């Protein structure tokens, strides 16, 4: 028979073990989140316009699969180039490149003067690294709508991927002229997010810094120049003599930035 002291120790240890087990169970417990709201299937009695509008709402909410269902239902009742293009965009966003490309092609066949599907098919080919085809499609979109900053930005991205930097600079310069904020719109999904090597990304940022400097936008020029330095652009010292940076160099921020020498800059 155990002594009182021994029984006390055993009991105390058992209680402590229970407490530890309870705490461990609490830490390991998984709580199931409330079920997501189910999106209603496309109503059979809805008009093509109503289905398209609902698809637009779902796409804006990034509910791409549900948006696809609504766009397909709209197309089944009335196929239009605009809805085909929207369906392609929703498919592109979830990387269904084959389906997206097919629907952009259908939209083009339905309306040869509709610029957006040319541009969007160019994006599909860009994602597939078919840069020559992308350039041709972007140029076609620009022929139809010559004042679209995003079309010129995409063209610049394709040229940049081909390492045709002079052509890329011309395209980017036109994009900036049309819309100085064009690269802010695509900062998360555009070329900067797709460049694999830090060297290419740094070169891209330096090109934009130079273009913004030439356009007289000092703030954005400094922003991209700093990014180029932080990503280790090896020829960043060109900014000390490049004519595009003439006005930027008069700003005290330029000397301060060039003196900082971020760690990525080779000494």
pLDDT at residue 68 in the model: 96
Q: Could you say which architecture CATH assigns to the domain 46-112?
A: Alpha Horseshoe (1.25)
Helix or strand (DSSP H, E) at 98 = helix 97-110
Q: Are 104 and 96 in contact (CB under 8 A)?
A: no
Residue 245 DSSP one-character state:
G
**Token couple for 200:** 């290419």
Rounded to an integer, what distance in angstroms lies between the CA atom of residue 174 and that of residue 156? 9
Terminal alpha carbon distance of the chain:
79
Res 195 pLDDT > 50: no
Q: What is the pTM of this model?
A: 0.75
pLDDT tens-digit readout, 121-158: 999 999 999 999 999 999 999 999 999 999 999 999 89
pLDDT tens-digit readout, 225-243: 998 998 888 888 899 999 9
């Amino acid at each position: 028979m155990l002594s009182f002291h021994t029984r006390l120790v055993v009991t105390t240890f058992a209680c402590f073990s229970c407490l530890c087990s309870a705490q461990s169970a609490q830490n390991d417990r998984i709580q199931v989140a409330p079920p997501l709201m189910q999106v209603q299937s496309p109503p059979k009695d809805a008009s093509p316009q109503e289905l398209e509008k609902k698809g637009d709402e779902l796409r804006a909410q990034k509910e791409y699969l549900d948006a696809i269902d609504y766009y397909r239902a709209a197309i089944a009742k009335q196929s239009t180039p605009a809805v085909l293009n929207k369906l392609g965009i929703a498919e592109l966003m979830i990387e269904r490149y084959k389906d997206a490309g097919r629907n952009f092609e259908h939209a083009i066949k339905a309306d040869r003067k509709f610029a957006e599907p040319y541009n969007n098919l160019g994006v599909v080919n860009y994602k597939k690294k078919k840069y020559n085809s992308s350039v041709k499609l972007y140029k076609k979109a620009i022929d139809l709508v010559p004042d679209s900053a995003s079309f010129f930005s995409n063209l610049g991205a394709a040229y940049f991927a081909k390492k045709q930097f002079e052509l890329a600079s011309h395209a980017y310069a036109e994009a900036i002229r049309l819309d100085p904020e064009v690269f802010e719109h695509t900062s998360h999904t555009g070329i900067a997010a797709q460049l694999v090597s830090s060297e290419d990304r740094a070169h891209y940022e330096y090109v934009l810094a130079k273009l913004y400097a030439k356009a007289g936008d000092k703030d954005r020029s400094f922003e991209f120049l700093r990014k180029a330095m932080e990503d280790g652009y090896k020829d960043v010292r060109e900014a000390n003599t490049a004519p595009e940076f003439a006005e930027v160099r008069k700003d005290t921020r330029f000397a301060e930035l060039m003196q900082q020498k971020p760690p990525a800059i080779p000494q």
